[in-house]
Amino acid sequence: MIEVDSATVWNDCLDIIRPDVGDENFGTWFKPIKPVRVDADVLTIQVPSQFFYEWLEEHYVPVLKKAVHTVLGPTGRLEYSVIVDSGNQQNPAVAVNYPNGSANRKSALNGIGADDYSPFTFKALNPQTINSRLNPNYSFDNFVEGDCNRLARSAGLAVAKKPGVTSFNPLMLYGGVGVGKTHLVQSIGNEIKNNLPNKVVLYVDQNDFTSQFLNALQNHKMQEFQNFYLQVDVLILDDVQFLAGREKTQEMFFHIFNQLHQTGKQIIMTSDCPPRDLKGFQERLLSRFKWGLTADLQEPDFETKLAIVHRKMQADGIDMPTEVAEYLAYSVDTNLRDMEGVLNSLIFHATLLKKDIDLDLAKEVLKNIIKEIQSDVSVDFIQKTVADHFKVDLEAMKGKVKKREIVIPRQVAMYFCKRYTQLTLSLIGSNFGGRDHSTVIHALESVEDMMKTDPNFKNTVEELGKRLKMRV
């Protein structure tokens, strides 16, 4: 028997985990973990505290399970070695062992177990007893609506009220990493379960679907596999793009899709891109993805991110000053998953250091997490911030284009360069297509005049100024 190195197994797991949780969460909650041993299909990992262990069990069971199953197979399990006494030079650390899923908490998966929604465990599905694999913490109430997701949320709510009845079947939600796709589809599932308890709802990601299919194929249980899924009233398949190139799995999903759709069952899917951009899929399957509604979720705007920060802090019972919330909303310009990671890190540091959350602590935490956070405001940062806000081409704004839609953002950028940098007027002009100091003076005067006569323009400049000031 080949001996398996625990470090190798855990590193393979980390490669799977990292894209799912984002860099910030990964650094805070997974880097400190140490692999201990591998016994058959059981991986034991060491975590630094009871708090750490409970946090993982509360928030990261799905990603941990996905990684362990991928690396060790469908029977793979995880156990924890939790340090309860860090020890010293004379005395070693003291740890206690817990199996995965034993924390005194509500399971994020409604109770994960050895028979976890197995297609081969049930003869007939009972909507009251089947593990739907839904996280009860995901709901429409805590899904923050904004321009970035309004259509998707509205469609999801319509499906939740009348699954399989609306024209939104299938419902395909797509978007980049960490924009809220999983939150939204699980909110749909939870809403259906709460209002229509006789419906069999099942959430499954493509990795588990594929693993189950391969298991069925190897054990000659294809009919049992198909029969299981045909009993589902609402099927939620997450990350469908990873079915690319899997011909046999696609073939099975094609037949399941057809049967469910023909019998009025609801199909909900997520992807990182719209159906037209999916590669490595059968054309007949892609055509069915387009039958219903396709809606995208985009990166959240400032207002949405600010609302998410406030919602998160309220849920955790934490008082956060408005200036800190605004600083986070301005500074974390990636995705919602990264924002959650930053908030978790901020809470973690405040708890560890026994400090109130303030702007100085937030800046210190973000400086250690996000590379782009700077100690001062540079010309490049001002130019990019202004260009992004006005939605104009950065190079055009820095160049010699004289269209009004470019000139005004350029003048605003010059105004802030004078306000927040130590550059001379000539040096400011040189960063905008080699313009002279008189052009910069004209820009400053134009911005001040427009602020006096146009309240909306004044509000825009003041908001941009607030954002830039946060970086000082």
CA dihedral 235, 240, 243, 249 (to 10 degrees): 10
Q: Which two tokens mark 334? A: 């990636």
The full DSSP string for 125-186 is --TTTS-----TT--STTS---TTTHHHHHHHHHHHHSTTTSS--SEEEE-STTSSHHHHHH
Distance CA 325, CA 343 (A): 10
Establish whether the linkage from the previous residue to 170 is cis, with ω within 30° of 0: yes
- Comparing C-alpha atoms, which of 208, 227, 207, 225 is closest to residue 216? 225
The CA-atom distances, in angstroms, between 212 and each of 117, 138, 205, 298 are 10, 25, 11, 32
Q: Any binding-site annotation on 178?
A: yes
Distance CA 316, CA 74 (A): 34
Burial of 315 (0-12, 13-18, 19+ CB in 10 A): exposed
3-state secondary structure of 15: helix
Cβ-contact 122, 225 below 8 angstroms: no
Cβ-contact 413, 443 below 8 angstroms: no
- Comparing C-alpha atoms, which of 389, 376, 446, 391 is closest to residue 414? 446
Q: Which two tokens mark 89? A: 């030079």
Distance CA 191, CA 184 (A): 11
Q: Any binding-site annotation on 180?
A: yes
Can you say whether residue 163 is alpha, beta or left, with left for phi > 0 and alpha for psi between -120 and 50 degrees?
A: beta
Distance CA 425, CA 423 (A): 7
Distance CA 154, CA 296 (A): 12
Amino acid at 277: D
Beta strands in 208-313 (DSSP E): 234-238, 266-271, 293-296
94-99 and 77-85 beta bridge pairing: antiparallel
* H/E element, 65: helix 61-72
Q: Which residues contact 98 (CB under 8 A, 6 or more apart)?
A: 53, 79, 80, 82
**Sequence ranges of the binding site for ATP:** 178, 180-182
Annotated binding site: 178, 180-182
